[in-house]
Amino acid sequence: MEIRAEHQVICKQPGRYIGWPTVAQKQDGELLVVLSGDRDEHVCPFGKTQIVRSADGGETWTEPETINDTVLDDRDAGILVCRSGVVIISWFTSLAFEQHDYREAYGDAVVDGWQAVTAGLTDQDREEGLGHWIRRSADGGRTWQPMQRIFGTAPHGPIQLDDDRLIFLGNGEEEGERTVTAEQSPDDGASWEIVGRVPFPEDVAGDWCEPHLAQATDGRLVAHFRHERGGEGERYLWQSESDDAGRTWTLAHKLPIWGYPPHLIRLRDGRLLTTYGYRRAPFGQRACLSADGGDTWDLDNEIVLRDDAESGDLGYPASVELQDGDMFTVYYQIDQPGEKTCLMGTRWALPD
């Protein structure tokens, strides 16, 4: 579907790699975008959680500020602005840079540089630093409380329900098995408890990961998942629903929407919007609408936000509905040939 859309570069760090952003909007209209920035590559030891801000609906942006710079790789930044004004960021830390051989992908010089920097990591650094995390801010994201460990993780973080509880649907591990769990917070992220788990078909191979969810107007929770299985032909979104605020979930089922990973929001008119990276040619960012609370998705009118990216190293789009009714979607991809990825945004008009 053709739409009115305006694209922009929000943040570019020359010679550095940016990935996995999320956007949120404060009550005064200020936009906050968090990202993993100042990186060598898609995998490296140097990822930092950074934030940029816009006070004019996405027209101009501040320079990035670093929130987290742990001794490990800080990845997949999510953000939520609670109705109380509390801001919550989420992310996970990774040791992938030393668990796999990246010399063929990035070269000996790059990997040797990593090893020179990380040679001093201790077992205690690894044990204490590896995990899934949130931080809270009571002043609009200017200062941040200490890191808080949580069970699960997902790229775009928790959501707030109509009754003000928070739900974080994320990947964790129980008894050696990877799970998708729902964690609940009654106090704007100060405390969390696991309340439910999503079931998946036992006769379907693959891994369901990187979930996100939204609450429909009737109160039902609708969740989407990336399905990682074999070649790109299998990478459709999957969906599960909960009628009891995340305690029980329907058996996940496959959607006809190809793409990953998802970000879901409920629009002011009640429709649900899912946005996702399209990581096969023509590479770019796409979106789809549901007018019936997630029962069906209007794939016949799939929204193509962009189809001009150089490669499949892109995506993780996240969207907000601006105060004037336009949408603003953030994502990462390459801007100019020969460059590394950057943070980009698209302001676009919803179809009727």
Segment 168-195 mean pLDDT: 96
Segment 146-151 mean pLDDT: 97
- The C-alpha atoms of residue 223 and residue 181 are separated, in whole angstroms, by 12
**Long-range Cβ contacts of 200-208 (<8 Å, 24+ apart):** 200/238, 200/251, 200/252, 201/251, 201/252, 204/229, 205/229, 205/230, 206/230, 206/234, 207/178, 208/180, 208/238, 208/252
pLDDT, tens digit, for every residue of 72-85? 999 999 999 999 99
Q: Indicate which CATH number applies to the domain containing 287.
A: 2.120.10.10
- Of the candidates 108, 102, 107, 36, which has an alpha carbon nearest to the alpha carbon of residue 72? 36
Q: For 271, left (φ over 0), alpha (ψ -120 to 50), or beta?
A: beta
The number of domains in the chain is 1
- The C-alpha atoms of residue 147 and residue 262 are separated, in whole angstroms, by 26
Residue 232 has what pLDDT? Answer: 63
The residue range of the domain holding 296 is 5-348
Confidence category of residue 351, pLDDT binned at 50, 70, 90? confident
- Kindly report whether the peptide bond that precedes residue 261 is cis, defined as omega within 30 degrees of 0: yes
Residue 176 has what pLDDT? Answer: 86
Check residues 256 and 205 and name the one with the higher pLDDT: 256
pLDDT, tens digit, for every residue of 103-114? 999 999 999 999
Rg (CA), the chain: 19
Which residue is associated with the tokens 């973080």? 157
Check residues 292 and 352 and name the one with the higher pLDDT: 292
Q: Is the pLDDT of residue 231 over 70?
A: no
Q: Is the pLDDT of residue 230 over 80?
A: no
Mean pLDDT of the chain: 96
Distances (CA, A) of 218 to 238, 268, 293: 21, 14, 8
Distances (CA, A) of 323 to 55, 56, 59, 258: 12, 11, 14, 30
Q: Is the pLDDT of residue 40 over 90?
A: yes
Residue 297 has what pLDDT? Answer: 98
Residue 233 has what pLDDT? Answer: 63
Count CA atoms within 13 Å of residue 251 on its CB side: 4
The answer to whether the CB of 272 falls within 8 A of the CB of 287 is no
Say what the pTM is. Answer: 0.96
Confidence category of residue 175, pLDDT binned at 50, 70, 90? confident
Q: Is the pLDDT of residue 243 over 80?
A: yes
